[in-house]
Each structure stands twice: as C-alpha cells, then as structure tokens.
Copies of this chain bind each other. A is one copy, B any other.
Amino acid sequence: MAPEGTTNGTSSAAPAANAMAGLQPLDPEEFRRHAHQMVDFVADYYKGIESFPVRSEVKPGYLRPLLPDVAPEQAESLDSILEDVRSHILPGVTHWQSPNFYAYFPSNSSTAGYLGEMLSGAINIVGFHWLASPAATELEMLMLDWVGRLLNLPEAFLHTGGTGGGVIQGTASEAVLVALLAARQKWVAKLTQGGDISQSEALSKLVVYTSDQAHSCVQKACMVAGIEKKNWRFLKTSFDTNFAIDPAVFEEAVKKDLEAGLVPAFLCATVGTTSSTAIDPLKALGTITQEHGMWMHVDAAYAGPACICPELRHHLDGVELVDSFCMNAHKWMLTNFDCSLLWVKDSKPLLDALSLQPEYLRNAASEASLVVDFKDWQLPLGRRFRSLKLWLVMRLYGANGIRAYLRKHIQLAAEFEELVRADERYEVLVPRTFALLCFRAKPPAGDPDNGRTLNATLLENVNKTGKLFFTHTVLDGVYTLRFCVGNSRTEREHVLAAWDVINQEAEKLLKGSA
C-alpha cells in the first residue's frame, strides 16, 4: 500500500470536508485511559525483566522483516502496538534496567526519575528562554544549586554565588563541548585582540590536553570545535599512576607547547574514567592550569554523584581551581536519561560563545537582564523541563536515600572484589574506588596474547548466556573485564549469581585450554 503522497491518482486539493473532523490527539480522558494502560505495561516489564537475556541476542537487520515498509494509512489500536512491542521490540532491547546489567556505566531508571520524566513530557514546553516557562529556568537554577551544595562545590559555581551557575545538558559530551567552546572563545578573542592574527590562525595555536583515558567525547569536542589534530594531547598514563594523569607529564607537555609558540588552552581532567574510574589529581593539575590561564574542565560524569557522600568528597579536592565541572545524574543518580549537570565558575565566556538574540525571541525580561536564558548556555535552542526529574529524585528519596543507594553499590562491588581476590584464577587489575571492578582471568604463563583471547572469550560466553551483561576495555595493552554495579534493582543475590556464571564459564574455558 503506497502512502498517499506517492500515488498519482490522489487529488491534489486538500479534502476540505474532512479537515475539521476526526483526530482528537490529546483528549484528556483518552489520554488517561491509554496512559494507565501503558503504566501497567511498563510495571509488568520491570517485574518480568529478568526473564529476558540481558544483552539482546538478535542478529543485525532482525527488525525490518517484522514490520511494514511504510507507515499505516489508517489508525491502529494501542493493543496491537503493545503486542508488537512485546513480540518485536523487547527481544531487540539490551535491558539496561535489568538488575543483571553490569556493562558500560549504568543508566539509572527510578520511579522518581520516571515520574519527573512523565511530568516534563506532559507539560512539554520548549524552554529556550525564561519567558517560555519561567518555572523551568528557575527550578533548574535551584536544582543545580541543590546538587552543587550536596557536592560541596565552591559558592562560585552556584547561581547564588555571583558570576557562575549550573545548567542541565543532554550528555557529558555536550558539557565538555560547551566548556571547550567557551575556552576557545576566550582565547581567540585574546589572541586576535591586537589585530595581528586572524581568527583561524588563533584557533590553530590552541592546544587541548586530556588523559589517554579520557572519554572519547573530549576528542569529539576537539573535532567539532576545530582544534587542529596536531594540537590534541592525550597525556600518557599507565598502571604506575592507576591511569591518572601525572602532573609532571602535563607540565612538561605545556612547557614544550609554549616553547613551540603554541597556546595551552584547555585541560579536561576526569574523576572516574570510563575504562577504570581513574581519578586525575585536580589540585595539582589546577595549579598548573591557573598558572597559564588555561580553562580546566572536570568530567565526573560517572563518579560525580558518589561525591555527595562525605567519605568520597575528597576526590573532588581542587575543584575550586577549575572552570567547569560536569556530572551525570542519569548515570548513577536515579534520574532517567538524559540529565547531565554542568557548572561553570563564570558564565560570561559561555554567553560570549553561544548567545544570540533573534527578534522573534526578544522579550522584556531578557532585555532587562532580569533572568537567565539557558539557550545561551547550550548548543541547541530548544530544551525540555528536565529539572523536574532531579527535583522528584531528590525529594522522593532525600539526600540520605541517594547516599545509601550509592553506598550499597559500592559495597556490592567491594564484595564482588573480595570474591575475585579470593580466587587465584583471577586478578584485580587496578584498585577499585567506586563500584567498577577491573579484573581478568589470569592467562597461563607465556600466553602469546597475554590473556586477550582467554578473557574476550570468557566475556562473550558469559554474555551469551543472557544471565548478565558486562563489557571490556584495554588498559595499557591489557585486555580487561569491567564489572560495574550500579543498576537501580541490583541486590547482593544478583552479584553472587553473576559471579557463579562467570566461574562456570571460566571453568569450561580453563578446562578446555588445560
């Protein structure tokens, strides 16, 4: 059945008789009925989530043969759609909300986060500026202050603190890009001030530093911002520093670049790297960036939330020296994706880099500078009312509840670590700080690929069982298994069961190779 737009036989005049008829797409009572039905569908999904293989086992291209090639012309029933979700979509889902999901970093769903999502989706504003929905901007400012205070961020990072403040970005990728663009703006303006060099020449001098362990989003930010590839510095780390940046290595790199006539512009440090949750020493690094007037950004996407626990706050020592700081509430702080929090000490460079005032958005409040317009703190113009999610999470669970939640995962990871350490067939590869354990099955002596095949096979065999899903990385050449506890529903019994499955599969393999 070809869609109307592609047939020749269709009249090209609008069928005016039908135009006023039909669709009532937001009738409150139909909405109520259907949404209640969806709530039960979702609650049942959560209830039965352990019946699915955690990692989807479908083959590439599985879906297309199951669904029509063209959109239906006529309306279909919600029942038929939900039936298709059950039979065609859920088998293709990798179940991030399964308590047996230990892959990557978590993507927390929680009742509170979900309720906030429901409310935000219903109000469905496009909150580019204050006037587009004052509550959206003002709740966001307050929520970023709330979380900032939980993290004990310096007052300068709060909206009550003067020049800076916090803003919700979609992801940590956008946060680091926004920070880099602010830094770029600042440096290019400075370098071109005398009129001696052009904007592009200035740009070609800027150097960006980060660890070789930094998330790929730092590199992507460099690509987008047009930082020349020859000016990307991925500072070498190793087992010696548990994959944290050695400040001496950074200082040496800066010195070399200065000697070459380049401009050290930006450092992205990480608190909790993706591969192994390494923690760059903020204080030592910040001392160096301040000395050179560089912009320092901290990516604490994963580990940031944990630092609301006083016993872990010391990992942020030195944050008072940095210019911008990011953590993801959507990873490990119970807030459904997406909700990445970015704080800056001074918002002016951000505004200089990103602010525009088109006529169709002009309004009295903005022009009198009475308000914050978050469109000027981010890449896109439009934005959702995401602070509702944070607000619901913090109120429905309380800071105490959230800390208990984080500590539980850390304790479960510690118990998993004990099991690994107690078994001489395995080894822990770097010290565990949060809820991620990096380990491997010890390769036999003289193993030609130093355990890569052994562990990659173990990983694949475990994941193929569908009973859990975890992933890998490579640390200084060593193939490493990553087991990250962080799901909203993971309990001790799940971790113990996961360990059993890993052991069963390891036994088969070790037997096979023996």
Contact = CB atoms under 8 A, between A and B. Distances in A.
Given A337-B124, A380-B173, A56 B135 contact: yes
A445 interface: no
Nearest to A132: B94
A104 interface: yes
A130 interface: yes
A410 to B, nearest CB: 7
Contacts of A252: none
A297 interface: no
Interface residues of A, number: 184
Interface in A408-444: 408, 410-411
Interface stretch (A221-229, A238-246, A263-271, A506-514): A221-229
A274 interface: yes
A400 B46 contact: no
Contacts of A256: none
Contacts of A70: 146, 149-150
A34 B395 CA distance: 14
A207 to B, nearest CB: 13
A73 B25 contact: no
State how many copies of this chain the complex holds.
Answer: 2
Contacts of A152: 5-6
A141 B67 CA distance: 12
Given A149-B71, A310-B10, A489 B26 contact: yes
Given A78-B396, A311-B14, A380-B171, A25 B334 contact: yes
B26 A81 contact: no
B76 A396 contact: yes
19 contacts: A4-B310, A16-B411, A19-B410, A26-B97, A29-B43, A29-B47, A31-B42, A31-B114, A58-B134, A71-B150, A71-B398, A75-B398, A94-B131, A104-B126, A107-B124, A117-B121, A199-B226, A199-B228, A203-B203
